[in-house]
Structure 1
Amino acid sequence: MPRRKTMPPPRTSSDHKKPISLKRLAEHLGLSSATVSIVINRKPLSDMIPEETKTRIWEAASRFNYRPNIIARSLRQQRTYSIGVLLPEFSDGYSALVLSGIEDYLLGKGYAWLAASHRHKDELIREYPHLLYTRAVEGLITIDTPYDEHLPFPVVSVSGHQTIEGVTNIVLNHDRSAELAIGHLHELGHRRIAFIKGQSFSSDTQVRWDSIRKACRSFGITVDPQLVAQLEGVSPSPEPGYQAAKRILANKVDFTALFSFNDVSAIGAIRALQEADLHVPESVSVVGFDDIAVAAYHIPALTTIRQPLGHMGSLAAETLVERIAARGNEGPALLEVEPELVVRESTAPLSTAKAVPSGKG
């Protein structure tokens, strides 16, 4: 693009503290207002503009305190360029990774997002989508949140398993996840496996449990009801996993491996095993789920099924933005992503020494 003569900056240093117009910023840079607008608003055409030029624009925008007039743009285009996000809580590693992916994508598209956590309260799950709608969001992303009401804008559901008109579900291939986890333990020689199921309110709990039982049948592994416990309570801490493992140990039934619903609960379960004088992985191998950041740094480092949570978040944001732009296009009903087995220190071949939790703890 032709470069214009550079105009002098605003007259005094005090002027730098006041926002300047797009036109004044463009004149200072010697560029057209259209070029500056394309970069500032992160429009698709910005990919065609040289990086050096984009850097100059952003540095000048920061120096002279330029702020896009979002209200004017919204009124002009009848758009708000904002979406809503509904999730269980902000402190959960799972939700944080999905949110990170959503944010990464939206930052590059000039969208803002408003998030609300419902803490698994039914009244908030029903109320918040409508509240976000009154805030003029153009679409909604739900994360691990069951929701079956029809909404007047496009919806993308991460870990959603309900078929609802107007909703795109982004889900993990749970059959493959179970095959990877159970197959790994089976290959290591484990046949007596304990399981920690997710809370009843989690969207993935029943789907994942059905896949686990299916994988166990294919590997010839019997699921003993006394070796199954369900997470209870809404705490995102390791405590529910710790308590679930204690309940399994209290049944005094031998097992050599444990597959937990997520990494956080697996970490709590490991603490319960250690208190029962059972070493991981020498006495009991443990497999988690999700591959949150702390999984690699826990002692022992956690073997887990990696759920591409960041990718699921960015895919959800991309799908929603495309559906908003398409106006009336419902988009795909289902998008499936693939898991990955990450082997670390918490699993090992079955020892010749038999694990005997019944006499410990």
Structure 2
Amino acid sequence: MKENRPRGRQSASKETTENGPLNLRQLSEMLHLSQTTISLVLNDSPAAKSIPQHTRERVFEAARKFQYRPNYFARSLRRNCSMSIGLIVPDVSDGYFTVLMHAVEEYLIRSHYFYFTASHYRKADLTREYSRLLLERAVDGFLMVDTPEEIQTSLPTVAISAHNPAPGVVNIILDHDKAAELALQHLYDLGHRRIAFMKGPVGITDAIYRWSGIEKAAASLGICVAPELSLQLLEMNQSPEMGYDPVRDLLAQRTDFTAIFCFNDVSAIGAIRAISDAGLRVPEDISIIGFDDIISAAYYKPSITTVKQPLREMGTTGAQVVLDLIQHPDKEYPGEIIMQPELIVRESTGPAPENLKSWSQPGRRRSVARV
């Protein structure tokens, strides 16, 4: 059967010469093929195998001739890769993501890889949409940070702090059981028995595993995780307000505790301010322990005792693994690479006070979300 060749190829060539390379829409019109079909072919998607060989050859021929996406496609033809990575993250706010993303970017730059960063703000529909758009840009692999949603792709994919269950995904996670053991053993050795706990917001995958670790470590030490001292954080806004509001509300009702294990260092900063505003001192009256060891934790007053996540190592390992999988498609990695935490002792923790003061100020009572 003779293939019907689209008319207007000369005009397309002229347009390319005068106005630069064709875009996807123009290439689609010229070839009489859908934009999706062209993207599947050029991105070497597994779905492209169902497209007839002569159609795929037409797409490649046109892409070469009319210089479609020269920055990526021409290089892909030579190397069978675009030398680019798709980074999918909740956001790029200060704190946890700053340290981790800097390590990721540093490794990719050294490896001469370009990267696209997409922030989904914990919306599953954006995660799916961004993964599709990154596929259209012919990325060679995905690096997903704190993003548990599965994406439909056969590309090498590494997830950091996501506990992503998708087949083939390599997960880089922290040993949260060990992290809780380090924090609670430190407080226990200082004499703390009545401890308030923060549980991370719903939607933060690590929060589930961290809380499970807390419950296990507390049980082994004989520490009661009291419901009245368990604070459920309602949102992850990467502002000290996240820790300030619940601790302020708790202190308006009771002070029969000597320490707070905060969800992260940002919430610890807010907790310290709430304690100070209540006329109490850290660590003389209440000790504070954070999580992550963000850059500012060592420079806050008082400096924050924290469970350090090896964020730079996690970022570097994530970038290294995804590039290794791209370069060696048959190489096998375990489903999980577990990173070890470290306790960093600073000024915000001290011996538990001998006498607890239990008091309330009804006029300042506010509702506190409980676990």
3-state secondary structure, aligned to 2:301:
coil
Counterpart in the other structure of 2:84:
82
1:13-24 residue pairs with structure 2 within 5 A? none
Residues 147 and 164, structure 2, Cα contact 8 Å, conserved in 1? no
The answer to whether structure 1 residue 249 and structure 2 residue 245 are counterparts is no
Unaligned runs of 5+ in 2: 1-70, 365-371
Q: Deviations over 1:264-323 (max 9, x none)?
A: 011011111111111100000000000000000000000000000111000000000011
Alpha-carbon distance between aligned partners in 1 of 2:75 and 2:205, rounded to the nearest angstrom: 38
Q: Which amino acid aligns with 1:299?
A: K
Residues 131 and 151, structure 2, Cα contact 8 Å, conserved in 1? no
User: Would you say how many aligned residue pairs link Structure 1 and Structure 2?
Assistant: 294
Alpha-carbon distance between aligned partners in 2 of 1:238 and 1:208, rounded to the nearest angstrom: 20
Distance change in 2, residues 1:333/1:359 (3 Å): same
Q: Deviations over 1:148-177 (max 9, x none)?
A: 233221110001223320100000011110
Unaligned runs of 5+ in 1: 1-68
% same residue: 46
Q: Which amino acid aligns with 1:126?
A: R
Counterpart in the other structure of 1:347:
349
Q: Deviations over 1:129-150 (max 9, x none)?
A: 1111111111111111111233
The answer to whether structure 1 residue 214 and structure 2 residue 216 are counterparts is yes
Alpha-carbon distance, 1:70 to partner: 6.8
Return the match for 2:165 from 145, 163, 166. Answer: 163
The answer to whether structure 1 residue 146 and structure 2 residue 172 are counterparts is no
Q: Which amino acid aligns with 2:109?
A: L
After superposition, the CA RMSD in angstroms is 1.9
Counterpart in the other structure of 1:203:
205
Residues 124 and 149, structure 2, Cα contact 8 Å, conserved in 1? no
Distance change in 2, residues 1:146/1:357 (3 Å): farther
Distance change in 2, residues 1:81/1:278 (3 Å): same
Residues 298 and 304, structure 2, Cα contact 8 Å, conserved in 1? yes
Q: Which amino acid aligns with 1:147?
A: E
Distance change in 2, residues 1:169/1:357 (3 Å): farther
Residues 255 and 357, structure 2, Cα contact 8 Å, conserved in 1? no
1:265-344 residue pairs with structure 2 within 5 A? 265-329=267-331, 331-344=333-346
Alpha-carbon distance, 1:240 to partner: 1.3
Alpha-carbon distance between aligned partners in 2 of 1:130 and 1:245, rounded to the nearest angstrom: 41
Alpha-carbon distance between aligned partners in 2 of 1:158 and 1:205, rounded to the nearest angstrom: 14
Residues 295 and 301, structure 1, Cα contact 8 Å, conserved in 2? yes
Counterpart in the other structure of 2:31:
none
Residues 202 and 235, structure 2, Cα contact 8 Å, conserved in 1? no
Counterpart in the other structure of 2:231:
229
Residues 254 and 358, structure 1, Cα contact 8 Å, conserved in 2? no
Q: Which amino acid aligns with 2:123?
A: K
Return the match for 2:131 from 125, 129, 132. Answer: 129
Return the match for 1:95 from 82, 94, 97. Answer: 97
Alpha-carbon distance between aligned partners in 1 of 2:279 and 2:177, rounded to the nearest angstrom: 33
Alpha-carbon distance between aligned partners in 2 of 1:272 and 1:206, rounded to the nearest angstrom: 25
Alpha-carbon distance between aligned partners in 2 of 1:241 and 1:357, rounded to the nearest angstrom: 21
Return the match for 1:113 from 107, 112, 115. Answer: 115
Counterpart in the other structure of 1:238:
240
Alpha-carbon distance between aligned partners in 2 of 1:336 and 1:125, rounded to the nearest angstrom: 25
Q: Which amino acid aligns with 1:348?
A: G
3-state secondary structure, aligned to 1:177:
helix
- TM-score if structure 2 supplies the norm length? 0.76
Counterpart in the other structure of 2:40:
none
Q: Which amino acid aligns with 1:227?
A: L
Alpha-carbon distance between aligned partners in 2 of 1:121 and 1:249, rounded to the nearest angstrom: 34
Q: Which amino acid aligns with 1:144?
A: D
